[in-house]
Amino acid sequence: MKATNIEKQYYGNQVIVSTKEEDCIIYKLEDESGSAILTRYEVFPGIALVYNDVHKQDISIDSKDDIYHIFEINHCREGRIEFETAGGEYIYIKKGDIAVNTKDGVRNYSYFPLSHYHGVTIEIDFGVVEAEIPDVMKFIHIDLKKVKEKFVTNQHCYVFRENDHFEHLFAELYAIPEKIRKSYYQIKVMEILLFMSVLDVKSESVKNRYYNKKQVAIIKEIHNYMIKNIDKKLTINQLSEQYEMSATNVKKYFTEVYGNSIYAYLKEYRIQQAAKMLKSTTDDIAVIAGNVGYDNASKFASSFKSVMGITPNEFRKSV
pLDDT at 158: 81
In whole angstroms, how far apart are CA 262 and each of 217, 231, 239?
Answer: 16, 15, 11
Last residue of a domain, one of 170, 204, 238: 204
Which segments in the chain show pLDDT lower than 70?
62-68, 103-107, 130-141, 153-156, 203-209
pLDDT at 138: 61
Q: Look at the chain and report how many structural domains it folds into.
A: 2
Domain extent, residue 222, equals: 213-318
pLDDT at 246: 95
Roughly how many angstroms between the first and final C-alpha of the chain, as a whole number? 36
pLDDT at 88: 77
pLDDT at 167: 87
Other Cβ atoms within 10 Å of 265 Cβ, number: 20
Instruction: Please state the φ and ψ torsions of residue 154, each to the nearest 5 degrees.
Output: -65, -20
- For residues 188 and 221, membership in a common domain is answered with no
CATH code at 9?
2.60.120.280
pLDDT at 31: 87
Last residue of a domain, one of 184, 204, 224: 204
Tens digit of pLDDT for each residue in 93-105? 999 999 888 766 5
pLDDT at 155: 56
- For residues 108 and 192, membership in a common domain is answered with yes
pLDDT at 67: 61
- For residues 151 and 81, membership in a common domain is answered with yes
Those residues with Cβ within 8 angstroms of residue 316's Cβ, 6 or more apart along the chain or in another chain:
278, 279, 285
Rounded CA-CA distance 244/154 in Å is: 34
pLDDT at 79: 95
- For residues 218 and 170, membership in a common domain is answered with no
Last residue of a domain, one of 204, 239, 265: 204
- For residues 55 and 146, membership in a common domain is answered with yes
Tens digit of pLDDT for each residue in 254-273? 999 999 999 999 999 999 99
- For residues 194 and 239, membership in a common domain is answered with no
- For residues 200 and 217, membership in a common domain is answered with no
- For residues 234 and 186, membership in a common domain is answered with no
- For residues 196 and 220, membership in a common domain is answered with no
Report the DSSP beta bridge partners of residue 102.
71
CATH code at 300?
1.10.10.60
Rounded CA-CA distance 79/97 in Å is: 11
- For residues 75 and 16, membership in a common domain is answered with yes
- For residues 122 and 232, membership in a common domain is answered with no
Other Cβ atoms within 10 Å of 110 Cβ, number: 22
- For residues 308 and 161, membership in a common domain is answered with no
Report the DSSP beta bridge partners of residue 80.
94
pLDDT at 128: 81
Angle, vertex CA 309, rays to CA 303 and CA 312, nearest 5? 60
